[in-house]
Structure 1
Amino acid sequence: MKNSVKVHAALFLVALIYAANYSISKDVMPRYMGPFGLVLLRIVGATLFFGVMSRLVAPHDRLTGRADNLRAIACGVLGIGLNQLLFFSGLNLTSPINASLIQTIAPVVTVLASALLLGEKLTLKRVLGVGVAGLGAASIILSKGPVAAGGQDGLLGNVYILLNAAAFGVYLVLVMPLMRKYHPFTVLARIFLVGAFIAVPAGWQQVQAADYASFPPGIWAAIAYMVICLTIVAYLLNNWALKYASPALLGAYIYLQPALAVIIAVSLGKDQLTWDRAWQGLLIFIGVFLVSRKPRPSQLAAVPPLESIQD
């Protein structure tokens, strides 16, 4: 199999894993376990895995210097702890389609953070893209369309997802220097450990309160999916693809995630697609497309690659 085919297959599988999670997580939350409990299981599982892998693959690689260690702490707080707590809290309250559409705003935040933290120049086209994508996201957040059942606060859930996307967008800018300097497993082991210090106290009560004896096999499978596929497998595939894929290709697969999420959610009866959501999503896609357009070659060095959404 040619390398290009393998890259496309890996990126498609990553997009499919993330897209399916929007519906799979709704089967578990909040009936069997609260969102913070799921975050605890996911982060602790990933912390153990990446901690062991870092010792096996790069035993002598260590983060050095005060600046890199502080950057790793910031990445663990924003990209692991807050990112996942906000995502699962938001998904618990809003609908899979709303969450998948709002999350595509992350590349916009990445570009804005690059301008503030790395001094990247904002072009007129990118500023226009930020405005268009922001309009689409705001219209979804403020809309009164169908949300999760049970009278849950869909507006609050939408806001949580927006904050989640913002946290992850800033995280991408902060983590790239570490990924280029150290082995990925070394970085991941550290930032997931930092995230665990946030997730454990936040989710411990919900993990203890769960009635595990009542979990049917399908719920156990869903939890295993979130811990293994969503966190470990998706990252490994995405990290491998980053060696060969261009930022433009990665950006294209960002668009694919909500499309797959809509198909999965509608086919499983978890959500419904309306014309309002269609045009709101279109606004976001147009805005992200404009923001993701490559600047002139002289500006490319400061731009971190747009990775697929990892939640």
Structure 2
Amino acid sequence: MHSTLSLAPASPLAPRLSDLALLLVAVVWGTSYGVAKGALVFYPVLGFLAVRFLLTFALLLPALLRAPAPERRDALAAGLPLGALMLGIFLCETFGLALTQASNAAFLISLCVVFTPFAEWWLLRQRPGRAMFAFAAVSLLGAALLSGGFSGQWGWGDALMLAAAVLRAITVCQTTRLARRRNAPVLALTAVQAGVIGLGSLLLALALPGTLPPLPSLSDGSAFWLACVYLVLGCTVFAFVVQNWALRHSPPTRVGLLMGSEPAFGALFAVFWLGEQLSPTAWLGGALIVGAALWTMARRSPSPA
């Protein structure tokens, strides 16, 4: 029996499990920036993205091939456009981080939390409850305190991070929209998305001369390959599957807010694993982000009118 993206009746516990799973994804994704940064020491951005997502595609390909023909067609129909959106997200995020200050990047990507209610309203014609706008505002304030706000300078990196935040909000809503029309198994859908991202990154790398050097060896580049394994299994397979499943049980704004706790967990990882320091103001910002996520877990969003 396949786990699908159809909106089948769910158990009363499903929303709570969805919230907890999304918070765990936020924890895992919070660690991904430091891990990916270490991997990029060994290999350039496009090549790294190609390796990460083509490995993911190879791992999940059996699930796609085993799916019944109608479900496989649904996975392709939904996964191709969603994969294209996610390719844009990863390209904007990765290159944006290389071109802007970390504080600006953290603040801008967290704007996804604010953009999602408006994307939901625009794309799905569903106005979120007033409380969700308040939760989003608290989360955004926390992200600003955590990152230190803007430095007053605006560049290409800032624009790319802003674009990534917009694409994140749109992708959450588009996944929900397609879930209502398609009966795609979650693993098969994730395989298609990963294939689009991996192949797109590879084609871009091949099109740009000098951007695809030989892969690091297992002996000299063990840190690169360990990072790839962690990102593939934890930050890609686990995170993509959980997010696709959770969107069956939670409205897009709620999902966006819970995922918006990612900067706080990234800061904790930086402190305890990378040895970075945080100011009291940054700690307050992280507490507000996590508090907003826990607050939204304590109550369900009202159904759209």
Contact 1:109 1:169 in 2 (8 A): yes
- Tell me which amino acid in the other structure corresponds to 1:144: S
1:168 equivalent in structure 2:
168
Identity %: 21
Contact 2:114 2:136 in 1 (8 A): yes
Match of 1:26 among 32, 37, 56: 37
Contact 1:141 1:159 in 2 (8 A): no
2:234 equivalent in structure 1:
229
Contact 1:34 1:206 in 2 (8 A): no
1:50 equivalent in structure 2:
60
State the Cα deviation string for residues 111-156 of structure 1 (Å, max 9, x = none).
11111122223666666776776677688596339xxxxxxx9954
Distance in structure 1 (CA, Å) of the matches to 2:26 and 2:178: 24
2:151 equivalent in structure 1:
144
Determine helix, strand or coil for the equivalent of 1:208.
Answer: coil
Distance in structure 1 (CA, Å) of the matches to 2:200 and 2:172: 19
Distance in structure 2 (CA, Å) of the matches to 1:59 and 1:173: 26
2:189 equivalent in structure 1:
187
State the Cα deviation string for residues 278-303 of structure 1 (Å, max 9, x = none).
5666787799899998664343xxxx
- Tell me which amino acid in the other structure corresponds to 1:54: L
1:148 equivalent in structure 2:
none
85-94 or 127-136, larger mean C-alpha shift: 127-136
- Tell me which amino acid in the other structure corresponds to 1:187: L
**Where in structure 2 are there 5+ consecutive unaligned residues?**
1-12
Determine helix, strand or coil for the equivalent of 1:61.
Answer: helix
Contact 1:108 1:130 in 2 (8 A): yes
2:116 equivalent in structure 1:
110
1:165 CA displacement: 2.1
Residue correspondences, number: 284
Distance in structure 2 (CA, Å) of the matches to 1:94 and 1:260: 21
Relative to its length, the structure with more helix (as a share) is: 1
1:178 CA displacement: 2.5
Distance in structure 2 (CA, Å) of the matches to 1:280 and 1:176: 30
- Tell me which amino acid in the other structure corresponds to 2:66: L
Contact 2:47 2:205 in 1 (8 A): yes
Aligned in 2, Cα 1:10/1:171: closer, same or farther, shift over 3 Å? closer
Q: TM-score, normalised by structure 1?
A: 0.69
**Where in structure 1 are there 5+ consecutive unaligned residues?**
146-152, 300-311
2:177 equivalent in structure 1:
177
Does residue 75 of structure 1 match 2:85?
no
2:5 equivalent in structure 1:
none
Determine helix, strand or coil for the equivalent of 2:71.
Answer: coil
Aligned in 2, Cα 1:296/1:179: closer, same or farther, shift over 3 Å? closer
Determine helix, strand or coil for the equivalent of 1:63.
Answer: helix
Give matches, 1:1-311, under 5 Å: 10-11=21-22, 13-29=24-40, 31-63=41-73, 69=77, 72-79=79-86, 81-93=87-99, 99-100=105-106, 102-121=108-127, 143-144=150-151, 156-180=156-180, 181-183=182-184, 184-204=186-206, 208-210=212-214, 212-213=216-217, 215-239=220-244, 253-254=258-259, 256-269=261-274, 271-275=276-280, 277=282, 296-299=302-305
Distance in structure 2 (CA, Å) of the matches to 1:282 and 1:275: 11
